[in-house]
């Protein structure tokens, strides 16, 4: 399982290095996640041990937000001046995310003409 944890961190490292080298305005871990996804798509399946490792990381994901929450509390005075703007941006982006997700679900679950529905 250590091999798969190393693979996850290696993909993140490659993403970080690529962003640092090219200056792309994308977070390195996101690029690493895309790289891992591409590799798994080519493979066609997720290895059982990788599923176990990623499940363990996801079950403890809340621990990874502690440093970010601490940073917000430490620098709260910086956010105080822009509190209304940040709040409006959060509300609008949340509404946009919900709308796009709903539209995508409708588009992806739409029945194709001539398809057989199992429920009938």
Distance of CA 39 to the CA centre of its chain: 16
pTM of the model: 0.57
Q: From residue 81, give the alpha-carbon distance in Å to each of 12, 43, 44, 74, 94.
A: 34, 49, 49, 15, 22
Is the pLDDT at 96 greater than 60? The verdict is yes
Tell me what pLDDT residue 114 has: 65
Is the pLDDT at 112 greater than 80? The verdict is no
Q: What's the rounded mean pLDDT across residues 60-72?
A: 81
Q: Which residue has the tokens 């290095």?
A: 17
Tell me what pLDDT residue 115 has: 62
- What is the Cα–Cα distance from 57 to 64, expressed in whole angstroms? 9
- What is the Cα–Cα distance from 13 to 9, expressed in whole angstroms? 6
Tell me what pLDDT residue 80 has: 81
pLDDT in tens, 21-52: 999 888 899 999 999 999 999 999 999 999 99
Q: From residue 69, give the alpha-carbon distance in Å to each of 64, 66, 89.
A: 10, 5, 18
């Amino acid at each position: 399982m250590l091999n798969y944890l190393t693979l996850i961190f290696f993909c993140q490292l490659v993403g970080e290095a690529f962003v640092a080298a090219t200056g792309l305005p994308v977070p390195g871990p996101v690029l690493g996640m895309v790289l891992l996804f591409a590799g798994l798509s080519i493979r066609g399946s997720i290895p059982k041990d990788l599923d176990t490792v990623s499940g363990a990381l996801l079950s403890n994901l809340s621990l990874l937000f502690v440093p970010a929450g601490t940073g917000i509390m430490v620098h709260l005075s910086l956010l105080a001046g822009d509190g209304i703007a940040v709040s409006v941006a959060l509300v609008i982006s949340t509404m946009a995310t919900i709308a796009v997700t709903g539209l995508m679900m409708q588009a992806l679950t739409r029945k194709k003409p001539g398809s057989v529905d199992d429920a009938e």
